[in-house]
């Protein structure tokens, strides 16, 4: 069993591990919410370099909040900004137009809870790439997972390179729109892989 945090359009390394979770995956919903992580942000490639897109969440009065209870804030018109950023960054990629109608509704409909939003996006991404991992939500918080399980809940983090936290993992290069300008940018959001590689995304996840 592989244990994951929830994530907003998680990085490629997250989906590589999810693909490898042949015995099942469990997404943590009973942990205390941790800010400045992939739980509410993704990183995409733009003409200027990388850009972080962050979903604003409602304040809980300074108290610790369970992940399953974290509400999305409407502050700053973020849905419009995120969709514009994705469209601007990937409109010239080979597969953006092909998948745009699948993703656009997520930026038009209001979701109350971050966990629900992330999970529905994850299900869409897995469907578009063409694999169906056996995923369940945690029923309690475990400080330590069972012997033999793989705990990734805090290892896949925007401030820690995946090559340092995931032993033996090496990002596999693939076509990117701005590679001539920036070189290959590893471990971006899964949409970077999907919009650039389309049906061949599964080959990158397989390694």
Residue pLDDT tens, the chain, 207 long: 999 999 999 999 999 999 999 989 999 999 999 989 999 999 999 999 999 999 999 977 556 899 999 999 988 899 999 999 999 999 999 999 999 999 999 999 999 999 999 999 999 999 999 999 999 999 999 888 888 999 999 999 998 888 788 877 889 999 999 999 999 999 999 999 999 999 999 999 998
**Model pTM?**
0.95
CA distance 183 to 57: 33
At 72, is the secondary structure helix, strand, or coil?
strand
How far from each other are the two terminal CA atoms of the chain, in whole angstroms?
Answer: 20
- 159: left (phi > 0), else alpha (psi -120 to 50), else beta? alpha
């Amino acid at each position: 069993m592989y244990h994951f945090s929830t994530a907003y359009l998680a990085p490629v390394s997250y989906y590589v591990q999810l693909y490898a979770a042949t015995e099942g995956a469990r997404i943590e919903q009973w942990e205390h919410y941790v800010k400045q992580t992939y739980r509410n942000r993704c990183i995409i490639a733009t003409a200027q370099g990388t850009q972080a897109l962050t979903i604003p969440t409602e304040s809980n009065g300074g108290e610790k909040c369970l992940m399953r209870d974290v509400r999305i804030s409407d502050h700053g018109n973020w849905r419009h900004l995120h969709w514009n950023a994705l469209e601007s960054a990937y409109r010239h990629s080979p597969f953006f137009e092909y998948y745009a109608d699948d993703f656009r509704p997520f930026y038009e409909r209001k979701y109350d809870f971050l966990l629900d939003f992330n999970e529905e996006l994850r299900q869409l991404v897995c469907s578009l790439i063409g694999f169906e991992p056996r995923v369940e939500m945690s029923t309690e918080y475990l400080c330590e997972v069972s012997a033999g399980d793989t705990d990734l809940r805090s290892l896949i983090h925007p401030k820690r390179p995946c090559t340092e936290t995931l032993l033996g993992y090496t990002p596999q290069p693939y076509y990117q729109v701005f590679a001539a300008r920036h070189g290959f940018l590893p471990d971006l959001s899964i949409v970077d892989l999907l919009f650039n590689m389309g049906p061949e995304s599964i080959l990158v996840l397989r390694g």
